[in-house]
Amino acid sequence: MKLNIALLPGDGIGPEIMEQGMKAVQAVCNKFGHELSYKHALVGACAIDATGNPYPDATHDICMQSDAVYFGAIGSPKYDNNPDAKVRPEQGLLAMRKKLGLFANIRPVTAFPSLLHKSPLRAELVDGADFICIRELTGGLYFGRPQGRSEDGNTAYDTCVYSREEIERIVRLAYQYAEKRRKKVSVVDKANILATSRLWRQVAQEIAKDFPDVESEYLFVDNAAMRLVQWPKSFDIIVTENMFGDILTDEASVITGSLGMLPSASIGLHTSLFEPIHGSYPQAAGKNIANPLAAILSGALMFEYAFNLTDEGALIRKAVAASMDAGIVTEDIASNSKAYHTTEVGDWIAEYIKKA
């Protein structure tokens, strides 16, 4: 099979972890006889520095011509610490989501047995946790208009907007995922306060009737946030709007022990994007200490969701699990054993795949 991907390393540790991800992707392609082609493209701070645009037209063209987008991270202190900056790296991420139609962010949250001691929660609360957060990605407060500041600069405003169509497609996707898993959907909103959330709940209740074999529950976002730390094993599929999903998925990722372990997929109208959920971690850039496992696992999702190659994805997961069992991990999750460099972890996993 021919696999054509766009490779967008981005900023900070993005290039380092993408290099390790590509080692695993190439090893799998060699193992299964796939033909891999890819093109690099700029996005984020590096794109601003080179072109003045965080998501250049040339990058968009490469993404549109690809079967999948493999993405690293966006962000730079150069822009984070300048509140007057007119162009920011994160604008590139929002533009990419909008132009590629990346309406659904899929974040699996899995408790790894070897990381239970790293979780801020007691092991018995986390052990066995296995759920998926499905976040609407192209609507809501992040994209609503009008948006801005008053002329005197003393008042700022953002507008949260959702259409029925935007809600229907993400909620229906959540129920389709639930049918393949444990048949439970948790719809998260703030329907007691927000008009957009009341529309979310209304549409979700209508769609639930089409899936009678799936259990439905409706939670206010504050209640859902508490449940995540009190009873994470109670969730199967969580579906929610953009900003709530942004916050809840980061909370969910921490309870499993490390931000550096969790991958994600963004399902799009034109193509789909695969990325680790952590940020650019500029403090670690160039030090060869960043955890590449989330990026490598994002490669597994790419094989599964973009190309429907489940055996290939499963082999990457097996290799990652083997590296953790063998203690071949970076300093963020190393216990009493030696901490390995980013490149050493990537090399070990690629070699495991080769020999499997």
Same domain, 57 and 164: no
Instruction: Answer whether residue 89 shows pLDDT above 90.
Output: yes
What average pLDDT does the structure give for the chain?
94
Residue finishing a domain among 228, 259, 290: 259
Q: What is the pLDDT of residue 301?
A: 96
Q: What is the pLDDT of residue 348?
A: 98
* The pair of three-digit structure tokens given for residue 321, joined into one six-digit string: 């699990």
Same domain, 54 and 113: no
Q: What is the pLDDT of residue 9?
A: 98
Same domain, 185 and 327: no
Do the domain assignments include residue 190? yes
Same domain, 93 and 113: no
State the catalytic residues. 142, 190, 222, 246, 250
Instruction: Answer whether residue 82 shows pLDDT above 90.
Output: no
CB environment 11-38: b (16+ within 10 A), e (fewer): bbbbbbbbbbbbbbbbbbbeeeebeeeb
Do the domain assignments include residue 264? no
Residue of 14, 91, 8, 20 whose CA lies nearest to 349 = 20
Same domain, 118 and 233: yes
Confidence of residue 23 (pLDDT cuts 50, 70, 90): very high
**228 in helix, strand or coil?**
helix
Residue finishing a domain among 259, 288, 316: 259
In percent, the amount of the chain with pLDDT more than 70 equals 100
Confidence of residue 56 (pLDDT cuts 50, 70, 90): very high
Same domain, 123 and 57: no
Same domain, 63 and 183: no
pTM score of the predicted model: 0.87
Do the domain assignments include residue 66? yes
The stretches of 52-191 forming alpha helices (DSSP H) are: 57-64, 77-80, 89-100, 123-126, 164-179
Confidence of residue 130 (pLDDT cuts 50, 70, 90): very high
Instruction: Answer whether residue 155 shows pLDDT above 90.
Output: yes
**What is the domain-level CATH number for residue 293?**
3.40.718.10
Same domain, 34 and 90: yes
Mean pLDDT of 324-343: 90
The alpha carbon torsion through 239, 279, 326, 308 (nearest 10 deg) reads 50
Same domain, 117 and 53: no
Which tens digit of pLDDT belongs to each residue from 169-200? 999 999 999 999 999 999 999 999 999 999 99
Instruction: Answer whether residue 39 shows pLDDT above 90.
Output: yes
Which tens digit of pLDDT belongs to each residue from 231-240? 999 999 999 9
What's the rounded Cα separation, in Å, for the pair 73 and 79? 15
Q: What is the pLDDT of residue 153?
A: 84
Same domain, 252 and 112: yes
Residue finishing a domain among 238, 259, 280: 259
Say which DSSP state 331 is in. Answer: T
Q: What is the pLDDT of residue 18?
A: 98
Do the domain assignments include residue 118? yes
Q: Which residues pair with 98 in a beta bridge?
A: none
Mean pLDDT of 101-110: 93
Task: Tell me how many domains the chain contains.
Answer: 2
**280 in helix, strand or coil?**
coil
Do the domain assignments include residue 331? yes
Q: What is the pLDDT of residue 114?
A: 82
Same domain, 118 and 189: yes
Confidence of residue 149 (pLDDT cuts 50, 70, 90): confident
Same domain, 127 and 226: yes
Give me the domain span that covers residue 323: 1-101+269-356
Do the domain assignments include residue 18? yes
Do the domain assignments include residue 249? yes
Q: What is the pLDDT of residue 67?
A: 96
